[in-house]
């Protein structure tokens, strides 16, 4: 038992369950709790509870939301013509930061991976087909990661939408902006060559 306190040890083990937190970080966090003002910790505890209580998933796109529909789905200024399919809610955050996309989203909360027991039923496709048909969507952009699983998921999406008059596209792969060819790995450069465009 570390620190000679069963309670603190328990706190460390709870922190360790969080993603990206190892033993050392968990210890640091636990000691931070110990040293902080009571009011700060009370606020932390309250916020944790509130988040669990009030934050859920958007009924349309499965993005995180405090209302039945998320801020993006309920934003009338955004276009229904394009829907972007992403793996995780944080991917939305990254895409929004680009400011280049004004359509809607669908968050799958994962990718197809039979090894981890994840099939189509485990992903949040919702009623995508119906949504596309009724919403007048013209293009679905699949923005899953360029991994084997991400590609398989993209194929699944295009299969799911077969027969609808909707264009299914995939994010391009290649040169990073501001990057230098000199420092690029061969695999990425190879993909960039394959996906070259007219000047």
Partner 1 sequence: MRLASLRTVQWRTIEDREIEFSPGVNVLVGGNGQGKTNLLEAVQYLALGRSHRSARDDEIVRFGSGYFFVRGDGEGDAGQAFSIEAGFTPPRSKRLKVDGRPLTRLTDLTGVLACVSFGPEDTELARGAPQLRRRYVDYTLAETSRASLKALTEYRRVLQQRGSLLRESDNSGSATSADLQVWDDELVRLGCDVVVRRAEALLDLGPRARTLHQALGVGADLRLFYVVQAAGQRLEVGPALQGFLARAREGALEEAFRARLRQRRVAEQVRRANLVGPHRDDLEFELDGRDLRRYGSQGQCRVAAVALKMAQAECIRERRQDRPVVVLDDVFAELDERRAAGLWEIVCKHHQTFLAVPRRSDVEFGEGDAIFRVESGVLTREK
Kindly list the residues in this chain that would bind partner 1 in the complex (CB under 8 A).
112-115, 117, 119-120, 147-149, 151-153, 155-156, 159, 185-187, 190
Rg of the chain over CA atoms, in angstroms?
A: 22
Q: How far is the CB of 107 from partner 1 (least distance, A)?
A: 19
Residue placing its CB nearer to partner 1 in the complex, 22 or 120:
120
* Separation of alpha carbons 73 and 105, rounded Å: 8
Smaller CB separation from partner 1, 80 or 151: 151
Looking at the Cβ atoms of 194 and 198, the one nearer to partner 1 is 194
Least Å distance between CB 110 and partner 1? Answer: 13
Shortest spacing between CB 50 and partner 1, in angstroms: 37
How near is the Cβ of 112 to partner 1 at its closest, in Å? 7
Nearer to partner 1, 139 or 151 (CB): 151
Q: Cβ distance 145 to 85 under 8 Å?
A: no
CA distance 91 to 111: 13
Query: Residue 15 or 156: which CB sits closer to partner 1?
Result: 156
Residue recorded with tokens 């210890």: 27
Q: How far is the CB of 191 from partner 1 (least distance, A)?
A: 8
């Amino acid at each position: 038992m570390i620190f000679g306190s069963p309670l603190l040890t328990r706190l460390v083990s709870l922190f360790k369950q969080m993603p990206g937190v190892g033993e050392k970080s968990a210890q640091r966090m636990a000691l931070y709790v110990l040293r902080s003002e009571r009011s700060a910790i009370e606020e932390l505890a309250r916020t944790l509870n509130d988040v669990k209580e009030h934050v859920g998933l958007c009924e349309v796109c499965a993005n995180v939301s405090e209302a039945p529909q998320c801020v993006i789905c309920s934003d009338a200024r955004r276009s229904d013509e394009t829907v972007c399919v992403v793996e995780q809610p944080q991917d939305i955050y990254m895409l929004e930061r680009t400011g280049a996309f004004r359509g809607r989203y669908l968050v799958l909360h994962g990718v197809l991976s039979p090894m981890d027991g994840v099939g189509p039923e485990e992903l949040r496709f919702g009623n995508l087909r119906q949504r596309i048909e009724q919403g007048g969507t013209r293009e679905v952009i699949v923005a899953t990661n360029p991994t084997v699983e991400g590609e398989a998921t993209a194929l699944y999406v295009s299969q799911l939408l077969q027969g609808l008059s909707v264009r299914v596209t995939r994010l391009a792969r290649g040169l990073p902006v501001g990057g230098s060819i000199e420092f690029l790995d061969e695999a990425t450069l190879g993909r960039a060559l394959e996906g070259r465009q007219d000047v």
